[in-house]
Amino acid sequence: MNANVVLANVALETMGLPKGRYDKIDPHDDLNLSQSTNDFYPTSLKVAMLSYNQKLVPEVERLAASFRAKGREFADIIKMGRTENQDAVPITLGQEFDAFAAALEVEAAALRQAEEGLYVVNMGGTAIGTGLNAPKGYAAKCVSHLAKLTGKKIGLAPNMIAATSDLHAFAAYSGALRNLAAKLVKVSSDLQFLSSGPRTGISEIALPAVQPGSSIMPGKVNPVVAELINTISFKVMGNDVAVGFAMSSGQLQLDAYEPLAAIAILESQHLLIRGLAAFSTKCVDGIVGNRAICEEHFERSVGIVTALNPLLGYDKGTELAAEAIRTNKSVLQLVREQKLLTEEQIKKVMNVKALTGQQ
């Protein structure tokens, strides 16, 4: 109704009449006409969410492209992969960053798919979806116009009564935002782990010093952008919980908690759009790979023994791994000391491309 009042007054001024002359143009009778809050409001919200999604998806894709670029830059840096934070098998730093990119591309595609649920509207259903007071053809003309305005395949719900009270499209789209947030927490937390140190942690990468220094520890640099992404993501996941409660709490032919769902989703979109832009430009684009430390970790890791299984067998590999840990020697050092393999065999099995599944 606020919009109707504004539009009525704009029309009055255009006609050279003073604001408030509703005897000439009435916000209800002349502008609202066939609309109800119950069809206009959710339809306008869906259009707003589609507009924000048009900004959000490119930011996700931009972040993925940043990781892809780093994947190419780090393609020849060998390191150890880790499962459950324990040494696993070799990987390149480039492969690790490529995997981050691929994981984010999945979420971008999911957002594009989830937005399709927002194309279905109940405009013209008026109060409860029966279309009372709407002239014949009104609903079809509304969605046709909205489709032209948005460039999206806006269409009418097959059951307007169900669409008036059901928040499925909101919940499904919010779920896609939640999944993106969960993925971002995983990726940003991995970056924090890989950059930990710099002297007493993993330190296989260095994040840009966006906010260097500490109030008490000189020279300390914290991973503030990665932490920002986690903070935003936690909020998005919390907002999704609110959307779920809103969806479940509607009664009969209307869900009075739709505004809560709208506030939650629009806030999540806004936070993610701004946060992802910062993540790309102020963090990922400036990451530096620490080749020397990656290679040192690789050479010292007992995980190398897995690559020797085909030549030495699992039992011997287990024995070598235990001895390497006990003596603080590398696996290859023990292999050479015990003359288990020739240098030619070692060279062949330690080929970077072979170790990392690239040949």
| Residues labelled catalytic | 214
Cis peptide bond prior to 198, omega within 30° of 0? yes
CA 132 to chain CA mean position, Å: 41
Q: Cα(149)–Cα(264) distance, rounded to whole angstroms?
A: 25
Q: Cα(204)–Cα(283) distance, rounded to whole angstroms?
A: 15
CA 143 to chain CA mean position, Å: 30
